[in-house]
Amino acid sequence: MKTLLKKIKSNQFLFEELVKRDFKQKYKRTVLGMAWSVLSPLLTLLVMSLVFGQFFGRSMEHYTIYLFCGNLVFSYFRESTTGGMNALMSNASIFTKVNVPKYMFLLSKNVSALINFGLTLCVFFVFALADHVSFGLHFLTLLYPVCCLVVFNIGVGLILSAMFVFFRDTGYLYDVFVMLLMYMSAIFYTVDTFPPVMQKLFLLNPIYCYIKYFRVVVLEGNIPSLGFHLLCACYALVIVGIGGFIYKKYNHKFLYYV
């Protein structure tokens, strides 16, 4: 534990510099770049609420917020994992020449996705306020799914970045997978219309769980059960465990494949 802390401390400077670099690379030092990263999920939201609002929105209160919950979580997941997937390959010229801990590249990519998520979250709260959702102290529990998501995304990033080094078509396959996942995450529809058994099956999808957590807190004003908390944490820990194992096992082999 002590060595781990020491390691983190000694790499802190590198971490900060990498985050700065990723941030500058992404926004190219433009103000509009930052604004766009908030604007883009809003536009998606607009399109979706126009299209699906006609079908599902009529029977539901706060449909826009319901939609926003799903979009918010899912776009963070997508951005963070696709960014993480590229983290190793795009820095290949560095880690083949300088001895740096490679997971640093992944972590810094995750941080810039997290910042983006934070910005969108602020907009989300503004929307929620405008839509007369009742705010309260229970909103603080939202930190819990966010933490789970961060860990979960890092885990998926670890797995994907390693796979991307070995198989270059991982990107295309992952795109297809993400699309499938999106349709299975009940972003724009509700699961209420499904039979109870099917509704249980949705819980197998970690992203759906995190979205559901948001909805329960924001829309229903409740805090989910303890079991649900455990389920969320469980997904995150299992994925990050698998990712860590893969990273540790293949860490030294990446060099041969880039």
Partner 1 sequence: MSIIKADGVSIRYITGDFKDIGLKEYVVRRLQGRYKVTEFWADRHVSFSLERGDMLGIIGSNGAGKSTLLKAVSGIMVPTEGHMEIHGSIAALLELASGFDGDLTVRENTYLRGAMLGYTRKFMDEKYQEIIDFAELQDFQERPFKQLSSGMKSRLAFSIACLVSPDILILDEVLSVGDGAFRKKSGDKMREILNSGVTGILVSHSLEQVREMCNKILWLDHGKQIAFTDEVSLYCDAYEEFLRTKKLPQNRQQVEQLASGWQAYLQQQRRQAERTEAQRLEAMLESGTSEAAVQAAVSVLKKRRPDLLAAQS
Give the one residue of 34, 60, 100, 142 binding partner 1; rule: CB under 8 A. 100
In this structure, are residues 68 and 45 in contact, taking their beta carbons and an 8 Å threshold?
yes
Q: Closer CB to partner 1, residue 175 or residue 220?
A: 175
Q: Is 245 in the site for partner 1 (CB under 8 A)?
A: no
Reduced 3-state DSSP string for 137-150: HHHHHHHHHHHHHH
Supply φ then ψ for residue 105, to 5 degrees: -65, -40
CA distance 214 to 218: 6
- Nearer to partner 1 among residue 132 and residue 253 (C-beta): 253
**Candidate residues 146, 150, 163, 218; the one interacting with partner 1 per rule CB under 8 A:** 163
Q: Under rule CB under 8 A, which residues in 168-227 are in contact with partner 1? A: 168-170, 172-173
When asked if residue 252 is in the footprint of partner 1 (CB under 8 A), the reply is: yes
Residue 7-26 contact track with partner 1, rule CB under 8 A, x = bound: ---x--xx-xxx-xx--xx-
Stretch in the footprint of partner 1 (CB under 8 A) among 76-84, 149-157, 199-207, 248-256? 248-256
- List the one residue out of 44, 68, 190 whose CA is nearest residue 127: 68
Looking at the Cβ atoms of 71 and 91, the one nearer to partner 1 is: 91
Closer residue to partner 1, CB minimum distance, 93 or 225: 93
Q: How many CA atoms lie within 13 A of 14 on its CB side?
A: 16
DSSP 8-state class, residue 128: H
Q: Which is nearer to partner 1, 132 or 168 (CB)?
A: 168
Which position has the token pair 């983006």? 116
The closest of 225, 210, 220 to 71, measured between CA atoms, is 210
User: According to DSSP H, which parts of the chain are helical?
Assistant: 2-10, 12-27, 31-53, 63-90, 92-95, 103-130, 143-166, 170-183, 196-202, 206-218, 226-250, 254-257
Query: Between residues 22 and 212, which has the closer beta carbon with respect to partner 1?
Result: 22
**Contact call for residue 257 and partner 1 (CB under 8 A):** yes
User: What residues numbered 69-98 form the site for partner 1, per CB under 8 A?
Assistant: 93-98
Residues of this chain, 29-48, that bind partner 1 according to CB under 8 A: none
Using only C-alpha atoms, what is the Rg of the chain? 19
Which of 31, 99, 143, 226 is the binder for partner 1 (CB under 8 A)?
Answer: 99
Contacting residues toward partner 1, per CB under 8 A: 10, 13-14, 16-18, 20-21, 24-25, 28, 93-100, 163, 167-170, 172-173, 252, 255-257
